Amino acid sequence: MSERTLGVAVIGAGMAGKAHAAGYRSATAVYGSGLPPVRLVSIADTYEPLAADTARRFGFERYDTSWQAIAAADDIDVVSVVVANALHREIVEALLAVGKHVLCEKPLSASIDDARAMVAAAASADTIARIGLTFLRSPGIAFLGQVVAGGRLGRFVNFDGEYWTDYACDPDGPISWRYRGPAGSGALADVGSHLSYIAELFGGPIASVRGGTLHTTHTTRPEPLGQVVGHTGGAVSDTRSPVENDDVAGFFAEFSAGGTASLQVSRVAAGHPNTLKFEVFCERGSASFDFRNPGQVHINLIGDGDASVAGTRTVILGPKHPYWSGGHAMDAPGVGVGQNEGFVFQARAFLEEVAGLPESESLPRNADFAEGLHNMLLLDAAARSALTGGAEVKVGD
């Protein structure tokens, strides 16, 4: 293998694993030249048919059926870890120990102790370890973050956000790893992790939470008769097992720098397959975003211009906004953008950092493991608030 060649692998061939694989495949086609040659080497999954099919679909040279094979391979330099949260620590620590660069899916792990250990392992490694907070790569979200940080809307006051999904609506859908684990590791960890780091983009670090609520709508689910991939269904048995975590979660938050937030998430919101939306309120205006229309944002400026035409402005995203120029095959104004592009921008940023290229203003680095730990500490505070009847809990206590 050439010294300047980067060999890439993805561990986990499910829904998010495919997104990482597609991201690496497209990463060399955006933002011009500069990367060393990138080889798509292997997709690993314990379910062999899925590993083989994903490797074929996304142009990887081979597939493996264990993460240990990826760790042992001398032609692999960069690895995305996209498996069940409880497996992250063992795999990430092993990969770092043998000199691989690691991009880990969120949440960082299934427990605070494991997350702290992963932060320590990353700090002592000679290679790069990052976590993908993918929604920060959405051009609309990134742009509104710049607008609020730049002060055009005045001092930040409040963030109100919802992330509603419906993948768990069917009470007879098969149980999987997503439904096992303690309270707070269900909808709160799955989609609440995204919503919480978005809130902190606007208000800064959250200091405390209160009013935490966790609710399990479907308390049992049938055992599957076959492999469960992502959010897919399939044949099930007559045996039902308990759901151990939350279908719906919510909490209020206070930011260290002032301001408040309310966040609500669900995996049983019928009719909402992937509804992420929020509104940010500031002293001199507000801004809003809805991922069902990701190519536009809405801004309202108080006292800006003629009062007779005052109101909310719809801004159609284009090359003047983050990630757009050079980040798409067709980077003209108004061209569609969605969730998949975020994985492309994420992969490109990670490959550039691994290759030692300078960080650009248009393509910032991925978050480090310490930020992943903070995200887990925030969610843990929300879960502890719920388990103590909504009491105020300091983040990190």
HEC secondary structure over the chain: CCCCCEEEEEECCCHHHHHHHHHHHHHCCCCCCCCCCEEEEEEECCCHHHHHHHHHHCCCCEEECCHHHHHHCCCCCEEEECCCHHHHHHHHHHHHHCCCEEEECCCCCCCHHHHHHHHHHHHHCCCCEEECCHHHHCHHHHHHHHHHHCCCCCCEEEEEEEEECCCCCCCCCCCCHHHCCCCCCCHHHHCHHHHHHHHHHHHCCEEEEEEEEEECCCCEEEEECCCCCCCCCCCEEEEEEECCCCCEEEEEEEECCCCEEEEEEECCCCCCCCEEEEEEEECCEEEEEECCCCCEEEEEECCCCCHHHCCCEEEECCCCCCCCCCCCCCCCCCCCCCHHHHHHHHHHHHHHHHCCCCCECCECCCEEHHHHHHHHHHHHHHHHHHHCCCCCEECCC
Structural domain boundaries in the chain: 6-131, 138-333+373-387
**Assigned superfamily of 138-333+373-387:** Dihydrodipicolinate Reductase; domain 2 (3.30.360.10)
Residues 49-80: tens digit of each pLDDT: 999 999 999 999 999 999 999 999 999 999 99
Which pLDDT does position 150 carry in this prediction? Answer: 97
> pLDDT band at 273, cuts 50/70/90?
very high
Separation of alpha carbons 345 and 134, rounded Å = 9
Which pLDDT does position 303 carry in this prediction? Answer: 74
Report the pLDDT averaged over residues 246-259: 98
Least confident window among 70-79, 216-225, 298-307: 298-307
Residue 349 pLDDT exceeds 90:
yes
Q: What is the CATH code of the structural domain delimited by 6-131?
A: 3.40.50.720
> pLDDT band at 304, cuts 50/70/90?
low
Residues 135-175: tens digit of each pLDDT: 999 999 999 999 999 999 999 999 999 999 999 999 999 99
Residue 3 pLDDT exceeds 70:
no
Which pLDDT does position 231 carry in this prediction? Answer: 79
Report the pLDDT averaged over residues 204-226: 97
Which pLDDT does position 2 carry in this prediction? Answer: 41
Report the pLDDT averaged over residues 217-246: 91
Q: Which residue has the higher pLDDT, 148 or 397?
A: 148
Report the pLDDT averaged over residues 335-342: 93
Residue 281 pLDDT exceeds 90:
yes
Domains 6-131 and 138-333+373-387 share a fold: no
Mean pLDDT score of the chain, rounded to an integer?
95
Residue 1 pLDDT exceeds 50:
no
